[in-house]
């Protein structure tokens, strides 16, 4: 009884799988070919994806080391201007600004005006 039921459901499900329409069968074939095409691709090197994260981590570590050094109360470990360096290193927007190079002349002119 149970085996008949199992067998009947199996037959019906197999028939259903065999009756897939053309679009579905075509897409399955394409999916298979796309998957197999990966075998021919050269293995990806691991390092490019880690470079930005590694650089960010290095900057963070450097910043922490310099900041902790400046908090020890020893003036020799925290020379003047060092905190500004840390801020510059940690300021992502500043890096973008320098990288973009847009309006650089304007800021130079504005700085000159303030000094004069």
Partner 1 sequence: MTAFVTLAGVYSTPDISSDFGVERSRDQDLMTTSRALDQFLCSVEKRAFKIAQLGLRNDDDALDAVQDSMMKLVQSYAARSADEWRPLFYRILANRIRDMQRRRTVRGRIMAWLPARDSEDDEDFDPIAQAPSHDPGPAKRLELDEAIGVLETAVAGLPPRQQQAFLLRNLEGLDVNETASAMGCSEGSVKTHYFRALENLRAKLGEVF
CA-to-CA distance for 26 and 36, rounded, in angstroms? 16
Span of 31-39, 55-63, 70-78, 108-116 interacting with partner 1 by CB under 8 A: 31-39
**Can you tell me which of 19, 48, 76, 116 binds partner 1, judged by CB under 8 A?**
19
Task: Name which of residues 55 to 114 contact partner 1 (CB under 8 A).
Answer: none
Query: Under the criterion CB under 8 A, does residue 34 sit at the interface with partner 1?
Result: yes
CA-to-CA distance for 87 and 63, rounded, in angstroms? 8
Query: Under the criterion CB under 8 A, does residue 31 sit at the interface with partner 1?
Result: yes
Query: Under the criterion CB under 8 A, does residue 25 sit at the interface with partner 1?
Result: yes
Query: Under the criterion CB under 8 A, does residue 46 sit at the interface with partner 1?
Result: no
Q: How far is the CB of 19 from partner 1 (least distance, A)?
A: 5
Q: Annotate 10-39 with DSSP letters as a single string.
A: HHHHHHHHHT--HHHHHHHHHHHHHHHHHH
CA-to-CA distance for 33 and 25, rounded, in angstroms? 12
């Amino acid at each position: 009884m149970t085996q008949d039921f199992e067998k009947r459901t199996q037959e019906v499900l197999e028939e259903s799988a065999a009756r897939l329409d053309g679009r579905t069968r075509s897409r399955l074939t394409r999916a298979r070919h796309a998957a197999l095409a990966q075998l021919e691709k050269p293995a990806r090197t691991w390092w490019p994806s880690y470079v930005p994260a590694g650089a960010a981590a290095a900057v963070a570590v450097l910043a922490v080391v310099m900041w902790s050094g400046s908090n020890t109360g020893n003036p020799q470990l925290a020379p003047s201007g060092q905190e500004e360096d840390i801020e510059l290193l940690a300021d992502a927007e500043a890096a973008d600004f320098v990288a973009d190079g847009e309006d650089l002349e304007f800021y130079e002119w504005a700085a000159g005006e303030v000094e004069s």
